[in-house]
Amino acid sequence: MKKLLVILLIISLKTFGQAIEHFEPASWWIGMKNPKLQVLIHGKDISTFSLNVNYPGVKLVKINKTENPNYLFADLLISGNAKAGKVPFNFSKGKIKTEYFLDLKNRKPNSAQREGYSQKDVIYLLTPDRFANGDTKNDNISGYPDALNRAKDYGRHGGDIAGIRKNLDYISEMGFTTIWPMPLEENKMNEASYHGYAITDFYKIDPRYGSNDDYQNMVKESKQKGLKFIRDVVLNHCGLNHWWMTDLPSKDWINNEGKFAPTNHQREVVHDPYAAKTDMDKMTQGWFVTAMPDMNQRNSFMANYLIQNTLWWIEYADLDGLRIDTYPYSDKNFLSVWSKAVMDEYPKLNMVGEEWSTRQAVTAYWQKGQMNRDGYHSYLPSMMDFPLNNSLIEGLKENDKDWGKGMLKLYQCLSDDYLYANPNNLVTFFDNHDMNRIYTQLDEDKELLKMGLAVIFTTRGIPQFFYGTELAMTSPKERNDGLIRADLPGGWEGDKVDVFQNKNLSPLQSEMREFVKKLLNWRKTATAIHNGKLIHFAPEDGIYSYFRFNEKEKYFIVLNKNDKETSLNLERYKGMIPNKPSFEDVLDGDQFQNEVRIPAKGFRILKVK
């Protein structure tokens, strides 16, 4: 009897069922500012079926077909009066019928008014696969070819969401206030999938990290510990093994009709008044590498897909902000529409774009509020401050006695802040996941490392910190991303050195860990650093100095690159300090009045009393 029932069930599925392979997004929310939703539906010959949606407050406006009969794009209008529930999508063709559901949800209270990260925050950037392995059961997953192999620089090492959740207290206690993990979405690639930027399913967390629910709970637990959460967004490309690459909706879904053609990386062409169109097209339509097909955002269905995916993750996971990978490589008109769509829904959210240029004019072009001569409007609030990163590193390493070198470069970089619409909202950093470890760049000079961190944590902008720098981690001189993103000691069972438990650290590691912790926990309370003005003084005799101040407090930051202790001439700072000044070093408590001494190759952060 049971066998007969199974046979009848199989017959009924073949007769009355139609396989829906992909239905994206599978859920949405009532009360979004934009009431429109476009659902991607993928299944064998699905465009030959009739579609009916009958649900109070939800209207099927249009059914869009492409050249591929396996796709439909259903345009919906969702009323603010709709009720949460399962919205049925009924497909039929003759006797063949099937039903699929869109999960319609209520938004969380004040979801649209969520506050993004700001100058009050310090962002902790981590590589999830290399941070901590909290669940060894997901190290290898059937069907995912890139298996665990900690011996390979570019292999998967087993870090996961469970490892991050397990160590949220560490991140918070160190003084960080915001977490930015590299992408956690599915990367079902054959090799080097650990970095996360070759996404093969934009709506699914890679199971080797955990599940969508795990991600959602990680963000929730972070907020409970006072930590904000940033999603790393990839708009420019997908992974070669993305599910749609074997069945594209249209020939123009991927740039160059799905065939590899490299980008020229000439990002200046985006705003170059003399740029040739062929150069512009090659820049934005060329692929990064063969494993990352370049998505065509000029295709309206692709554009809608990417916009909705961004909104979906913000709403689903209750995110506080975004970081956008390879920002200028996408179509710039799409980026304007995308950034406006996100900010319209979440006007207080913060988003930062990656434009790896050391020229302020190039970076400034993309920031919200910039008055570009070509009339281009961007709605992106923040950019990664690569110009400051470059000038700070060169300024620390170079000899200040050489003409035009040393800390003068940092001074000059900041003096060009007039080029930005909002320099205070730029994200500053000393190193990141795409460049050699900063301790290596500084030739393993501990004092320069501390000095640079002092600048990053006290100058204008929002500091970003790369995991492992609290231990002065190193990397080879020749760039190797797999080793730059090395395993954090203590994240794996059997690790003798444990940064989380503060066990068996070397003297250097202990010193740097405590230095970062003390400096960042002071910064949490320093309102002048969060919202104060900045006045700096041109470098003289190896000394660079500046003030951060608001109506409540004032800090005097002094960097000394000389090989001997230096006493400051306070006459230079008249107007910024009282006639009878008193200072206290916020880190070691030293007190100064008429004479301020700055240690050799050192710095002081002084509270002005």
Which one of 121, 185, 354, 495 is the catalytic residue?
354
CA distances from 213 to 34, 162, 328, 445, 522 (A): 26, 12, 32, 43, 35
CA 171 and chain centroid, separation: 17
Q: Which residues 6+ apart lie within 8 Å of 233 measured at CB?
A: 310, 322, 323, 324, 325
Active site residue 354: yes
> Residue 86 contacts by C-beta under 8 Å, 6 or more apart in sequence?
101, 102, 103, 104
257 is catalytic: no
Phi, psi dihedrals of residue 493, rounded to the nearest 5°? -60, 130
Q: Are strands 96-106 and 27-30 parallel, antiparallel or unpaired?
A: parallel
Question: Strand, helix or coil at 152?
Answer: coil
Strand partners, 567: 597
Q: What is the 3-state secondary structure (H, E, C) of 441-471?
A: HCCCCHHHHHHHHHHHHHCCCEEEEECCHHH
146, 201, 320, 325: the active-site residue = 325
262: alpha, beta or left, given left = phi > 0 and alpha = psi -120 to 50? beta
- Alpha helices (runs of H) in 489-595, residue ranges in sequence order: 507-523, 527-531
Cα(540)–Cα(206) distance, integer angstroms: 53
Q: How far apart are CA 605 and CA 166, in angstroms?
A: 33
Query: Mind telling me the catalytic residues?
Result: 325, 354
